[in-house]
């Protein structure tokens, strides 16, 4: 393989010369006798510094970057990558340091010569038959384009006929196709997939064209989408293969699955609807966390994928699995189907607290136009806080009894066309929805205060953040 090495070379074309050794100053002096207006100064530890006085029209420093390719046989090739400079040395308006375009030019030049040298070396090695050590006949030479983060490189790709000693395999040999089967470098594909996962495809295309020397033809949005989907499918196959042949892991006594579903808004103008995403966070006794997600298109494989994640964390038939969810049938059934041990369903405190908070906001919005309104607001606000306290301590029956007691008192204030009458509907609707939610999922409500003291899971707020 060619071992590239960069040798940046900087040469000053101005009429000046620096000698770091006093003994070599005599060799430089004859060269400077033709220059007018020269000054010489002895600098400690630097020798004799001889420079020309500034003359109108004198050019500034020029720089040149070269790359040297050393082959396995000892041959070396030197190519010029980029050059620049020559600006007015007396001006402070010229850019100091490399610009972004200069950096792109250097990177594109290095990539171009490296890729061409690598393909030429590999083609020469593959042309030699490994059996008889003779050279394969050349069939033709085509041009291949390789996409990389540092530009699109077009390389000559020779194809060789089968060797005369070949009996079984009589196919044409293309070394360039072996080196770049996807017509792109792995780093190019990885970066496209990462940007496609982080940003919208159109914005990822603009980001690439702005900061990478990919030329005047950046990848289109559809190309970035296909690359991202391809890399994601490869990661999914790798995950499934690990699930089929899991590595031995210590069995876990307890596991927690926080699972929730969320809706992702579609791009404006694209079918005008949203799609559902299922997200889960799995943890074991050691505190190791694994995030899992799936879309409706993978609904038939979600159980297998989640089961592979649980198995990879040490799930056995004796493992107790606690499933935290919002009480919907979809997440609960998915978590139960993927578990092989004993399953315990818990209504997470996050969704329950959000229902209670809605009722608290409606009570807090009660008008305060009169003394009776202020008294009613304080009474209903205190009732909602008592309901929150009882549910937090797992007292489901007492919470339902308090809701049923508060509802008639709220509806009794609806007489007349006062401001309080308009607030009755909101608070009554919130309390009715809370009563329906709590009574339907009463079996899943636990003592959240004790669970928090015992450091047991009781909320899916981390999963909500992942969604």
The beta strands (E) that lie in 335-400 are given as 342-347
- Extract the tokens encoding 362: 């409606």
pLDDT at residue 34, as a whole number = 39
pLDDT at 3: 43
Give the pLDDT of residue 81: 86
**Which pLDDT score, from 0 to 100, does residue 287 have?**
75
| Cβ neighbours, 10 Å, residue 199 | 14
Q: Are 140 and 161 in contact (CB under 8 A)?
A: no
Judged by DSSP in three states, 296 sits in helix
| 324: phi then psi, degrees, rounded to nearest 5 | -100, 125
In the chain, what are the domain boundaries?
3-97, 103-184, 188-240, 252-345, 350-453
HSE at residue 253, side-chain half, CA atoms within 13 A, is 2
Q: What is the pLDDT of residue 299?
A: 60
- For residue 185, the 8-state DSSP code is -
128/101 Cα distance (integer angstroms): 41
- CATH entry 3.40.50.300 includes domain 252-345: no
Cα(289)–Cα(457) distance, rounded to whole angstroms? 13
Residue 270 tokens read as: 């694209």
Crossing angle between the packed helical segments 349-364 and 371-392, to the nearest 10 degrees: 170
Rounded Cα–Cα distance for residues 177 and 165 (Å)? 23
DSSP for 424-452, written as a single string:
HHHHHHHHHHHHHHHHHTGGG---HHHHH
Distances (CA, A) of 246 to 3, 35, 339, 376: 40, 79, 16, 62
Tokens of 124: 């020469």
Q: Helices 299-312 & 221-244, crossing angle to 10 degrees?
A: 50
How far, in Å, are 20, 32, 61, 130, 403 from residue 37 at the CA level? 22, 10, 19, 68, 100
199 close to 207: Cβ distance less than 8 angstroms = yes
Angle at 407 between CA 403 and CA 409, to 5 degrees: 125
Radius of gyration for the chain, computed over Cα atoms and rounded to the nearest angstrom: 37
Query: Concatenated DSSP letters for 96-115?
Result: PS--HHHHHHHHHHHHHHHH
C-alpha 330/C-alpha 263 separation (Å) is: 14
pLDDT < 50 stretches in the chain: 1-57
Estimate to the nearest angstrom the gap between the alpha carbon of 63 and the chain centroid: 37
Residue 355 parent element (H or E):
helix 349-364
Structure tokens that stand for 329 in this block: 């049938």
- Distance (Å, rounded) from C-alpha 153 to C-alpha 141? 16
Q: What is the DSSP letter of 72?
A: T
For position 2, what pLDDT does the model report?
A: 41
């Amino acid at each position: 393989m060619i071992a590239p090495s960069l040798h940046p070379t900087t040469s000053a074309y101005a009429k000046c010369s620096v000698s770091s050794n006093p003994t070599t100053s005599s060799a430089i002096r004859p060269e400077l006798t033709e220059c007018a207006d020269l000054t010489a100064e002895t600098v400690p530890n630097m020798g004799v510094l001889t420079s020309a006085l500034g003359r109108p029209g004198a050019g500034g420093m020029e720089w040149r970057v070269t790359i040297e390719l050393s082959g396995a046989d000892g041959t070396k090739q030197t190519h010029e990558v980029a050059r620049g400079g020559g600006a007015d040395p007396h001006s402070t308006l010229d850019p100091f340091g490399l610009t972004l375009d200069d950096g792109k030019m250097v990177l594109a030049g290095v990539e171009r010569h490296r890729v061409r040298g690598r393909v030429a070396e590999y083609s020469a090695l593959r042309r030699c038959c490994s059996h008889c050590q003779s050279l394969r006949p050349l069939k033709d030479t085509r041009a291949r384009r390789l996409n990389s983060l540092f530009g699109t490189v077009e390389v000559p790709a020779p194809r060789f006929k089968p060797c005369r000693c070949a009996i079984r395999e009589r196919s044409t040999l293309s070394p360039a196709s072996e080196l770049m089967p996807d017509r792109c470098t792995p780093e190019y594909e990885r970066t496209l997939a990462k940007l496609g996962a982080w940003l919208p495809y159109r914005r990822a295309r603009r980001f690439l064209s702005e900061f990478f020397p990919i030329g005047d033809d950046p990848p289109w949005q559809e190309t970035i989408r296909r690359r991202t989907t391809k890399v994601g499918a490869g990661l999914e196959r790798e995950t499934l293969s690990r699930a089929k042949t899991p590595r031995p892991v210590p069995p876990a006594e307890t596991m927690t699955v926080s699972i929730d579903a969320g809706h992702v808004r579609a791009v404006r103008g694209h079918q005008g609807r949203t799609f559902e995403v299922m997200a889960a966070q799995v943890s074991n006794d050691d505190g190791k966390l694994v995030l899992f997600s799936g879309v409706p298109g993978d609904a038939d494989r979600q159980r297998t994928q989640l089961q592979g994640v649980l198995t990879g964390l040490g799930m056995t038939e004796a493992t107790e699995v606690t499933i935290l969810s919002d009480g919907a049938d979809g997440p609960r059934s998915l978590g139960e189907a993927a578990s092989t041990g004993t399953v315990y369903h818990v209504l997470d405190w996050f969704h329950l607290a959000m229902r209670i908070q809605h009722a608290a906001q409606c009570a807090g919005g009660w008008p305060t136009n009169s003394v009776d309104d202020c008294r009613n607001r304080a009474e209903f606000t205190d009732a909602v806080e008592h309901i929150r306290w009882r549910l937090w301590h797992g007292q489901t029956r007492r919470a339902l009894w308090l809701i049923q007691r508060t509802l008639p008192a709220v509806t009794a204030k609806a007489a007349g066309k006062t401001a309080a009458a308009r607030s009755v509907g909101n608070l009554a609707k919130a309390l009715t929805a809370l009563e329906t939610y709590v009574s339907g999922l009463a079996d899943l409500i636990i003592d959240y205060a004790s669970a928090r003291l015992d450091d047991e899971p009781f909320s899916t707020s981390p999963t909500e953040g992942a969604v």
